[in-house]
A and B are shown apart, each in its own frame.
Chain A
Amino acid sequence: MSATNERGSEHAGEHSDEGGSEHEHADEHPDDPDAERPDESRATNTGGRSSWLPGLAAFAGDEVENRPTVGDHPWLVAGGLVALAAGVGVAAGVDSVPAVSSEMAVSIVAVAAVGGALALAVFRVNAARVQAEMLDVEYRGDVRVPGAAFDDLLAAAGTGLYSTRMRTRRRVVARLREAAVAIHAHTARIPTETAREQVEAGSWTDDDVAAGFLAADASASSVADAVRTAVGRQSSVQRGADRVTRVLADLAPGVDFDAVDGAGSDADDTADADDTAGARDGSTDTLADEPPDSVDTTRGDRHAVDRRTRRWTGLAGVALLAVGIGAFTSGGSVPPSLVVAAATVLGVAGLIHLSPAPPVTVDIERAVDPPRVDAGDRATVTVTVTNTGGAMIPDFRVVDGVPPGLRVVAGSPRYATALRGGESATFSYAVEATRGRHAFDPAQVVVRDFSGALERERYVDAAAGDGGEGAEAIEVSADLLADAEVPVHPHTAQRVGRVLTDEGGNGVEFHSVREYRSGDPLSRVDWNRLAATGEFATLQFREEHAATVVVLVDARQEAYVAPRVDAPGALEWELTAADLVVASLLAAGDSVGLGAVSPEWCWLPPRGGSGQRARARGLLESHPAFDAGRPARSFHGELEERRLRRELPGDAQVILLSPLCDDGIVAFARGLHARGYPVTVLSPDVTATRTTGQRLAVVERAMRFSALRRAGVRVVDWDTDRPLETAVDRARRRWSA
């Protein structure tokens, strides 16, 4: 497809003719999964106000356009016309105003000019500079950093009306109090009720600030907070929450922010060195922006919009200023050089009126090399943009519609150039492939006229490039080496396998000796004993049985988290681990099933053999439950758990893969474990420690580990910087100790 539908309605200089037909919905996402965030405005009003031109609303989604009229600034227009008439009059030698001397006239002009300059300067300050907001396509869409919601809450606690702030503050305190009660009860080994009383009384910690913040009689100074927030300082809520989180981190088992920070920065360094070697100069890295804590690359409101950027507002005032200064300082006769300077400035100001509207006759071709890649490999996307019209596009900007499930690791999917009629330009970037089929979104295109005053935003679908493939989507197959051995509970089926049981029978390892019963095989008769004592006895060996294991992957909305929005998310790690676990269990002779903890039902009954591995991998790669986009529906633990229990064989044990970033999954795991399915939780660590909310998420996750361990559930905390085997080995030492 191309933007051919634009061409018919294209008339240079007559944008107003385009009317409502231009309001095309290039790509609608009615089922936008992220309902929590309201739609943002499409335009950035960098000036903070809307429009100073009456009748021209600079609001989002507007289409151009109201041409300026004389009525907008009648005094400026009148002054301009009078000055022009006077100029023509003087030039023609008309002495119609003989009483006014030349010096006096110039002085009047000087005053008027400086006044006009000031008026235009005021417009400049007040005018909203408007431009299209480009999508954050580089990042994985639909993932959040754990703790982002709490950070939002903290930010909200410092702004808004008094009642809103107080309500937000109460929610912050309530959330922290819950965490404090749980941790205090755990570390002091006291009942929850006692812990709650102590937290409300403020006697749970030696830290006065933290204790006071959570105490029941805590008071809040709201006015001071509002002032602090207004000048960019932390509010008392933020400081208190941060203090409490640090105290909780000291109490919580296994949480050490210093260690975590060190490990995190190491990981970042290696990732950056890999991604951007040579692409940036080292010194500018100190300026690197932190990526946002959540992005939405599948925004629904993709409208074709024309807008005025107002970037020239007030420039004519500079020319007036030059003339005014010249008139004042030179006592009436403006030096010719200043007049030339003023004319130079006016030349650019006049450019707006001479610039024809830019055409949006653009074709985009996209080629992906290779179109099918293995997970973790890179695919290079080459985009060719062509101006199919005859007129020049002086300023062309494009952001390619990178699939939400992919992240850009090299190059940039953004490009700006100028395109003459019929001219093409090419740019390319690399994406890191994650499993599944990833469809491209339409590319976001912004064109501007010569002066940059008129900006037109469009969304253009790409056609296939020379390769003939890849315009629509990238196919990725997961290809992972499975060589780790994952331990399972000693809970087995009656088949020969690798789990040593405590039952005597056939096997290799000696178990016990019992009296001979008729029918025992001759090979197991203890001939030595018979020779020595004359009694028949039978040797018993430890029986080796196979286990039935079901691998469950947490793919609920809550599991779409990542330490950064440009890092692999929890689900990626879970799927990698699931593939590894399934393969290693199958290799050991266990029978393995696969399921998703997701609103989307996904179930592979437990079986053994190599065919099962292919079936499991097929599901992991392409089942909609493991889609890279966050599911639209929420997961109802009770119902789904019951359905899952119906499918689970009675002797099955469960390996649950989950980031453990919410309490729902803990209840789910404990429920399964309590009903006789031994559960092992394998949890990739995708938490971050940059903000208070993120640190609180770390503390809460540590408490979930404790809660699971208390319930008898085995837990493996997987630091994703290290191989899965390391985490499993460490956990196994803990279990056997």
Chain B
Amino acid sequence: MSVVRRPARTSVALAVLPGLLGSVALATTLGGLVLGLAGLAVVAAGATWASRPVVTAGALVSFLGVVFAALAGVSPGFVLVGAAGAVVTWTTAQHVVGLGEQLGRDARVVRSVVVHLAVTAGATLVAGGATLAVFLAAEGSFPATAVVFLLAGVALLLGALEP
């Protein structure tokens, strides 16, 4: 019995699930939905072949769908769900590919995948939700430019200081 070093279908399905939810949240704009679903298909294919670059490329397309939807005027709450879906699908697909490479297709890995999915989904929703709350609470009184500056600063620092 040989070890097939690719993820099982269940794992891939689990990884794509949050992206699917995110894409549905963007369904009010056709472009966002199409980009999101096309990216998801690429992610699913990349995960099945255990190819990380393909997974990343697909997730990037999905995220561009989120950006498109945001520019098209979808409300921040739905964009939050869409962005979280794209990011969680990306990291879970990477996780699943790693499991496939290390443990193969026949190993039982579902709990590990679900925990990873839940933790990353929580992190994205908390961060996005907090920002959304700031926007809603401080509407009018708080300059949006400040938030943009703060966000860019945090992003640069996180990128630079990533362990």
Contact = CB atoms under 8 A, between A and B. Distances in A.
A325 interface: yes
B52 A344 contact: no
A275 interface: yes
Which of B78, B83, B120 lies at the interface centre, i.e. has the most chain A CB atoms within 10 A of its CB?
A: B83
B82 to A, nearest CB: 7
Contacts of A320: 152, 155-156, 159
A290 interface: yes
A144 to B, nearest CB: 16
Contacts of B116: 394-395, 452
Nearest to B106: A412
Contacts of A138: 1-3
Contacts of A87: 145-153
A308 interface: yes
Interface in A522-556: none
A345 B87 contact: yes
B157 A84 contact: yes
A116 B143 CA distance: 23
A88 B146 contact: yes
Looking at chain B, what size class is its interface with the partner chain? 35 or more
B154 A120 contact: no
A415 B104 CA distance: 9
B135 A91 contact: no
Interface in B106-163: 106-109, 111-112, 115-116, 119-120, 123-128, 130-132, 135, 142-163
B75 A337 contact: yes
A348 B70 contact: no
B153 A345 contact: no
A351 B151 contact: no
Interface in A100-132: 102, 105-106, 109, 112-113, 116, 119-120, 123-124, 129, 131-132
A406 to B, nearest CB: 12
Contact of A427 (B66, B83, B95, B108): B108
Nearest to A276: B1
A82 interface: yes
Interface string A494-526: 000000000000000000000000000000000
Nearest to A123: B159
Interface in A307-345: 308-309, 311-323, 325-327, 329-330, 333-345
A83 B149 contact: yes
A302 B36 CA distance: 44
Contact of A336 (B5, B76, B155, B156): B76
Contacts of B52: 46, 129
B123 A566 contact: no
A112 B149 CA distance: 11
Nearest to A453: B163
B79 interface: yes
Given A416-B103, A446-B102, A288 B2 contact: yes
A116 B156 contact: yes
A605 B39 CA distance: 72
Interface in A609-656: none
B2 A289 contact: yes
B38 interface: no
B107 to A, nearest CB: 4
A316 B153 contact: no
A80 interface: yes
Nearest to A394: B115
Interface stretch (A66-74, A249-257, A470-478, A687-695): A66-74
B150 A88 contact: yes
A351 B119 contact: yes
A198 B9 CA distance: 57
Tell me the interface secondary structure of chain B in the complex: helix
Chain A, interface residues (CB within 8 Å), range: 35 or more
A134 interface: yes
Given A90-B143, A325-B67, A414 B104 contact: yes
A494 B1 CA distance: 51
B151 A343 contact: yes
A341 B128 contact: yes
B144 to A, nearest CB: 6
Contacts of A65: 163
Given A351-B119, A395-B115, A446-B102, A289 B5 contact: yes
Interface string B76-91: 1011101110011001
A289 B4 contact: yes
Nearest to B63: A318
A566 B124 contact: no
B71 A412 contact: no
A113 B155 CA distance: 9
Nearest to A319: B155
A371 interface: no
Contacts of B102: 131-134, 397, 399, 414, 446
A349 B120 CA distance: 10
A707 interface: no
Contact of A116 (B76, B88, B142, B155): B155
A113 B143 CA distance: 19
Contacts of A348: 87-88, 91, 120, 123-124, 127
Nearest to A134: B102
Contacts of B3: 136, 138-139, 289, 291
Nearest to B75: A337
A217 B112 CA distance: 61
B8 to A, nearest CB: 9
B60 interface: yes
A19 interface: no
Contacts of B156: 76-77, 79-80, 83, 112, 116, 316, 320
A427 B155 CA distance: 42
Contacts of B143: 90-91, 102
Nearest to A66: B163
B69 to A, nearest CB: 8
A418 B145 contact: no
A630 B5 CA distance: 27
A287 B105 CA distance: 11
5 contacts: A80-B154, A87-B147, A91-B146, A289-B4, A452-B116
Interface of B: 1-6, 9, 52, 56, 60, 63, 66-67, 69-71, 73-76, 78-80, 82-84, 87-88, 91, 94-95, 98-99, 101-109, 111-112, 115-116, 119-120, 123-128, 130-132, 135, 142-163
Given A395-B112, A407-B1, A564-B2, 18 more contacts: A76-B160, A84-B154, A91-B142, A280-B105, A317-B159, A318-B63, A320-B156, A320-B159, A333-B145, A345-B83, A350-B127, A350-B154, A353-B158, A353-B161, A412-B103, A418-B115, A452-B95, A453-B163
The 8 A-B residue pairs with the shortest CB-CB distance, nearest first, are: A347-B127, A87-B149, A80-B156, A84-B153, A344-B128, A83-B153, A87-B150, A343-B131
